[in-house]
Amino acid sequence: MKRAFTLEYWLDDGWYVGKLKEIPGVFSQGETLEELEENIEDAYKLLMEEEVQTNHPVSQIKEVLVEVA
């Protein structure tokens, strides 16, 4: 099964660096955008494997309203 995520990325000293906006803690880099995409997928898979092995629940997302002054 495939799932879509938002890859936020930028250039840093000639490297493509990025993170998955929906999954905190999934960061990676690559010399090309394609390499970054491959590496970010690997980082996501490693995080999910760790979640399963440590019995941490998979995090959920919920929008909340916060009143601002």
Q: What is this structure's pTM? A: 0.72
CATH of domain 1-68: 3.30.160
- Please check whether residue 21 is in contact with residue 51, taking contact to mean a CB–CB distance below 8 angstroms: no
What are the C-alpha distances in Å from 16 to residues 8, 25, 39, 40, 53?
A: 10, 17, 11, 11, 30
The full set of domain ranges for the chain reads 1-68
> Alpha helix locations (H) across 6-61?
33-53
What local confidence, expressed as pLDDT, does residue 68 receive?
85
Question: What are the pLDDT digits (tens) for 15-54?
Answer: 999 999 999 899 999 999 999 999 999 999 998 887 666 6
